[in-house]
Amino acid sequence: MAKRQEKQKKGYLGHRSHGRGNVKNRRGSGNRGGRGLAGVDKHKWSWATKHFGGTYFGKVGFNKPSQDRQPKVAHLYDINQKAMLNQLEKKEGKYVFEFDGKILATGSVTLPLSIRAGSWSKNVEEKLKAAGGAISRLHEEKAHAEKKAA
């Protein structure tokens, strides 16, 4: 016949608390500071931050919006200045500038510029035509070139 497991109590006969500390210990839920998650925001705070990683009470603080959400911008006076300093390539009598962003009409244009950009403001076209330049969409030309290649 199989031998039954001995009771743990046997080794503690004659001892008042059976190795569990003071007699008052292990008496009700008050000894552990409440049942469940009671006191998580008070006396069990360090336990909560360790186990929940600081997310038990929801989001804390805010996330700064990334800088990539700001549109890329170029000004006409900057482009004109680069053309004056011969920093732009010249084709067919016009300085060529490509930009994957928005062109703003800040400043004046003194040289003929050929600009390919993602977008531009209303006054850009007027200023470029007055100086003998032109502007076109960068993405449309790329898509048109890909269609021809295919």
pLDDT number for residue 141: 58
Domains in the chain, start-ordered, CATH in brackets? Answer: 70-149 (3.100.10.10)
- Which of 85, 126, 86 shows the shortest CA–CA distance to 109? 126
Strand 94-104 with 89-91, pairing? antiparallel
Question: Does the pLDDT value for residue 147 go beyond 80?
Answer: no
Q: H or E stretch including 53? A: none
pLDDT digits (tens, 9 = 90+) for 51-109: 888 788 877 777 777 766 677 899 999 999 999 999 999 999 999 999 999 999 999 99
Contact 112, 80 (CB under 8 A): no
Q: Report the half-sphere exposure of 131 (CA within 13 A, side-chain side).
A: 25
Give residue-wise pLDDT tens across range 126-142. 999 999 999 999 876 55
In this structure, the number of other CB atoms found within 10 A of the CB of residue 128 comes to: 23
Q: Give the strand pairing for 89-91 and 134-137.
A: unpaired
